[in-house]
Structure 1
Amino acid sequence: MCNDLAAEEIHRMEVLAFVSDDHQPVLVTIGKVMLAECVVKESTNTNLMLRPEKADDFIGALEKVDTSEVGTPDPETLFHFILRSIKSVANKVGLTSKAYCSKRNKVKKPWFDKECTAAKMKAKIALREIRMYGFDERLRQVFLVKRRHYRKSIEEREPNYYATIREELCNSKSTKKFWAAARKLKPKSRPENNTINGITNEFLKALPESFQSLFLLLFNQILQGQKPPSAWGDIELVMLYKKGDRGDPSNFRGISLISCAAKWFTQNILTRLNKWVESNRVICETQAGFRKNMG
């Protein structure tokens, strides 16, 4: 969506008709030349991570950056200035950390008890009845009530579970009881850095007003017809090993890392489109997947 140069490679796009389904597939024919060899880019050993205790220092240092000299450049130059400023200030404040990966086993949610399971099943059955009987309004209201009950069950049990563990840790009078409670906690996980340029959503949320204005200018320039930054079209594919033979590519699952700024912009577009689609009733009721209050 952000890489307009890729549109030149599309030769044909066709919406196929399925008589038995409302979800119609789209067939896209491209003429991109695939190279026999691909370059594998090594991941960087340094990540940027916004620590809560240094958030005020980061915001204060970023506020001192003079943004008046930027003027009104093209989106490419403007985005490059924003990235350079954020990374420079983050390094100066000391928000860099060494990247590491740790193996962790899948841990089931211990607080998800039988009542949560029953509430989830009731919500699923109610949703199935909606789809079976043509999205009747009465059945829809029943489904919403059962889904709220299911979500409330989860929201209550998870914090209560960890509060109980904290109480056990504080009140434990022996080493054995202390480590028994500690083992119930989640294993150490990698800090979130799911973006290609190292600037995570935490940094974007902490931007001062001066840099918020720069992003507003950037988004408006693109909406008015200018080209998005080329970095928004860059994608880093990280392959996660699942199981089996490591020499078999099918045993890996790919995760695409893209710019958080690009996701921010496209989310704004998606919000506007969803509002327009719902207000104009463009999508039929049987297409309920991923729609608000529709299952």
Structure 2
Amino acid sequence: MFTGTTQKPNIGQGSTNQFNGWFVTTGYAFTLGRDIAALAQKLEKVQASCSSGYLALTTRVQSLEESMKNQLANTTTQFNQALSDRVHSLEQSIKNELTNTTTQSNLALSARVQSLEQSIKNEFTTATAQFSNDIQNLRLMLVSRLTPLAFGVDIAAHASMKCSLKKRDRPLPVETMKIDDYLYAEEQFCSTDNATCLYLQSNGNLVLYQTSTLQVIWTTNSGGGDCRSFVKMQGDGRVGLYHYPYGVAEWVTPVFRGAELTFQKNGHLCLKMQSKIAEGQDGNCLWTTDLIAAPV
């Protein structure tokens, strides 16, 4: 660059070489500047291209990071869900096994308890029945022994006699002795509450007594029989006591057709018409043990 007036170079013979050198130098400088400018432009383009590539690379990296995060989140969620499902399945399996085991144990325990309860009930029932039989036998023995003391009946003839059990074709009567009901020796006919019983002793004596005190309240005083004696409610409304050999009754009530022998609330026996018995009221007796002179 030149300032001021432009001076032409003094071209002379001696300075020709100097000018040529300057011109060449100037050309080189111009070319170099142009190349430098071109390089700068290329550098700018490279920089712009690198900036664009960097941005694209950054965007790609961010996209990959986001994709990896999403995949990782999905994988974690699926893993957690699978783990939760597995844990829940194991818990349910354990609960089911525990429930089944507990149920089986409870059933076995309940069955064992029921078996023990039933066994205890059976043993208690058997023991109670045996005790009841023992008490009843004791009462009958006491009645047999006390009756002679109360009524002066001589039982020496049958004291050592043991009556064998007889086969019955109908059950023992209870509360009411109906037509064709009967008692064998050493059998008894009792009220519903078992408070009072009519007992046929092995000597053929018929005794009405209170079971709680063994107090005799009435008797036929008909000793002299044996194990073959029996009492029967006959079809003509009479109660008859028979000794072997059977024939005329040893003791008998009056005839009241349609009557049956039943207990009163006071423990005495009463011959009453069947229709009156059905009413369930005391009284209306055609015959009763209350009319017999006996200790009360």
TM over 0.5: no
Structure showing greater relative contact order (alpha-carbon pairs closer than 8 Å, 6 or more residues apart): 1
Please state which band the TM-score falls in when normalised by the shorter chain: under 0.3
Higher share in strand: 2
- Computing the radius of gyration from Cα coordinates, the structure with the larger value is 2
